[in-house]
Structure 1
Amino acid sequence: MRIDNKIKSLTPPFIHLLFNHSKHLRIEENIQLISIDGSKCMDMNGLFSEFSKKMNFPDYFGGNWNAFDECINDLSWLTSEQYVILISKTDKLLVNDNENFEVLINILSDTCMEWAEGREYGELITFPTPVHVFFCCIDNKEKHIIERFKSTGIIEFDIIK
């Protein structure tokens, strides 16, 4: 499946490791691209700050995992038919914090699944919406990055070279 077809899919995998930077994502008008700089996410404060800034989290965002999970599963302040989160410099992402890296990957994976299924919370109804996360990686870190993702327990992710 081509990369641009993957981002339209409502079926897993929703988490992608992108090792070949010569393959460019073609983002259409109805897809919101959210670019996260992994080098600004080396610790928890940086991660929450970068995601909050780039995803326009509301002022009430509390800078903790519960608030992160709540905000990334809401996005009512954004209006798009699809979302692509593109995380560059994945090798820098929570580089010395495997425990919180695992929490992040699991939240992102669960978020993608929830959006794909659609949701109904009282009056708030969201239709199935594709959300995909691409982790851009440099080739010489490939083995380490793949092992790090496998260690999180995430079952479905794909590797794009």
Structure 2
Amino acid sequence: MMQGGGVYRAPANLARGLELSPEVHCQRLPAASCGSRDALLDALASGLAFPDHFGHNWDAAWDCMTELTWNDDKPRIILCPLVDESADSGLDNEVLPAPMAAFLEVMGDACAHWSAHERTLYVIIVHQDGRVPTWLSTIEPFPGHQVLA
């Protein structure tokens, strides 16, 4: 089993397969607009059952991410589906939206935190099969075959 974790991207069909794998604990967040800080924080809070006192800011998200619990040594995978942003959404598919940049930073830091504590956390940005926004192509594809080996 691959150790370390990290932030990756994957097509929806691979994400569906991960949800069925007995080798990992998989949680799917509600789809959220990558251009909305509030939508991303709400998806985290509801998808991971953050406590009621969650402050709905990036620092509070970091705190909650570092307080996740593990029932065993299986890697945890958090699937983060992208909302299909249409051309009229005002978002540029080539430029990483600032809220998503902050989200990715917090998630990357959380993965590093858990790796230092000998736990494996993957955060996977799920895109539609065959449709990868330009900004997302800078994130490595999920090495599923290595993780599930």
So what's the TM-score if we normalise by structure 2?
Answer: 0.71
Shift of 1:36: 1.1
Tell me: CA distance 1:158–1:45, structure 2 relative to 1, closer, same or farther (3 Å): same
Query: Structure 1 runs of 4+ off > 4 angstroms?
Result: none
Question: CA–CA distance in 1 between the matches of 2:12 and 2:100?
Answer: 22
- Residue type at the aligned position of 1:158: P
Is 1:18 matched with 2:10? yes
User: Which of the numbers 107, 132, 138 marks the counterpart of 1:142?
Assistant: 132
Distance 1:145 1:38 in 2: 18
Aligned-pair distance for 1:64?
A: 0.6
Provide, for residues 37-82 of structure 1, a one-character-per-residue CA deviation record: whole Å limited to 9, x for no partner: 2246652222222211111111211001110111111114x64533
Per the TM alignment, residue 90 of structure 1 is displaced from its structure 2 partner at its CA by 5.4
Query: How far apart are 1:106 and its partner, in Å?
Result: 1.1
Residues 100 and 131 from structure 1, CA distance in 2 versus in 1: closer, same or farther, beyond 3 angstroms? same
Runs of at least 5 residues in structure 2 that lack an aligned partner in the other structure: 145-149
Fraction of identical pairs, as percent: 17
Change (3 A) 1:45 1:17: same
Q: Report how far residue 117 of structure 1 moved.
A: 1.3
Distance (Å, rounded) in 2 between the aligned partners of 1:47 and 1:36? 9
Number of residue equivalences: 133
Ranked by relative contact order (alpha carbons within 8 Å, sequence separation 6 or more), the top structure is 2
| Conserved 8 A contact 1:32-1:83 | yes
Cα distance 1:105–1:54, how it changes in 2: closer, same or farther (>3 A)? same
Deviation of 1:20 after TM superposition, in Å, equals 5.9
Superposition RMSD on alpha carbons, in Å?
3.0
Give structure 1 stretches of 5+ with no counterpart.
1-7, 119-127
- Partners of 1:139 and 1:116 lie apart in 2 by 29
Task: Give the structure 1 partner of residue 25 of structure 2.
Answer: 32
1:100, 1:20 → 2: CA distance?
A: 22
Query: Residues of 2 paired with 1:159 and 1:9: CA distance?
Result: 12
Q: How does 1:75-86 map to 2 (within 5 A)?
A: 75-76=68-69, 79-81=71-73, 82-86=75-79
**Structure having the larger proportion of residues in strand:** 1
Could you say if the C-alpha distance between residues 90 and 27 of structure 1 is closer, same or farther in structure 2, counting changes exceeding 3 Å? farther
TM-score by length of 1: 0.67
Residue aligning to 2:147:
none
Q: Secondary structure at the match of 1:48?
A: helix
Counterpart AA for 1:57: F
